Amino acid sequence: MRRVLITSGGGAKGAFTVGALSHMFDNNTANFDLISGTSTGSLIAAFAAAGDIDTLKDVYTNVTDNDIIATTNLVRQLQQGNPYLLDSYPLVKLINEKVTDAVYQKIMAGNTTLCLTAVSLQTGIPTIFATKNITVPPGYQLKLIQNIQQLKNAMLASSSQGGFLPPVSIDGQQMIDGGHRTVIPTAAAIAQNPDEVVVLSNNPRNIFPGNPNYTSVIDTILRVISIFIQGVRENDYKLLDDYIARSQKKVFYIEPDTDLDEQNPTGLRFDRFLMTLWRSQGEQKARQILAAGGNPGGV
């Protein structure tokens, strides 16, 4: 039986995914033929492929905003023509520290194919960075990961939210967060014709209700971002739902019942208390959904 795991974007809300994975590791159900991750899900996917749940639990409990992003002088950024508002050098440092040669070797020597999605600013085409050859879904391109630096670059690119964080230069293109095209990276997973799919989403299926009246520019922008993300997410779900309905394969949708952080749709708030809470919620939801046996043949 071919099993695949999909890990979604969501920034700090990735703690929910880590909680779900903790339950699966504890119950020996975290063995997958392929893991497809986007954004924060790409960071999680890499360590899940390495079988390193302890690092994930540590990171998604103890990091703060300062461990992921650095503030900048916005006026200077605009004057200098930099294409980002915040800096990601803390995240670069974290990736360099955690993605050791041993972690890389475990990923490359393992039976799990790791797929991380980023998007080219130049072409708008999503790229799947994979550790092994895969069937490439329509509209995507494939780049094979062949050394540790390529893995780190793919993880960083997939996590670099366009406009907020610096794009990552890869093969002459500026790569940004895969979540701009696929928040729940289903295409790479279902292109392999899996028998069972486990979806770990850090957001509920439906968008939360908005305010009765928007008068703040910031609140309006954040709401627009939420609406945009929801549109991408719905396309991802439709792709997967259609596959499940057509193939009658089994799927487990593990997602929160409500939005974990309504005020931060980008997920760029790394609060230790909240991440601990979200991890617990993810663990509980995974226990509930897996015990129920999933959804054979559709939702």
Active site residue 8: no
Q: Where are the beta strands (DSSP E) in 88-188?
A: 113-120, 126-130, 141-144, 168-170, 173-177
Given 52, 88, 158, 177, which residue is catalytic? 177
Which residues have C-beta within 8 Å of that of residue 99, sequence separation ≥ 6? Answer: 46, 148, 151, 152, 155
Given 36, 39, 159, 201, which residue is catalytic? 39
Q: Where are the beta strands (DSSP E) in the chain?
A: 3-7, 34-38, 113-120, 126-130, 141-144, 168-170, 173-177, 196-200, 250-254, 295-296
The answer to whether the CB of 49 falls within 8 A of the CB of 129 is: no
What single-letter amino acid sits at 146? Q
Say how many C-beta atoms besides its own lie within 10 A of residue 238's C-beta.
Answer: 11
Active site residue 177: yes
**What residues pair up with 254 in beta bridges, in sequence order?**
200
The residues carrying an active-site annotation are 39, 177
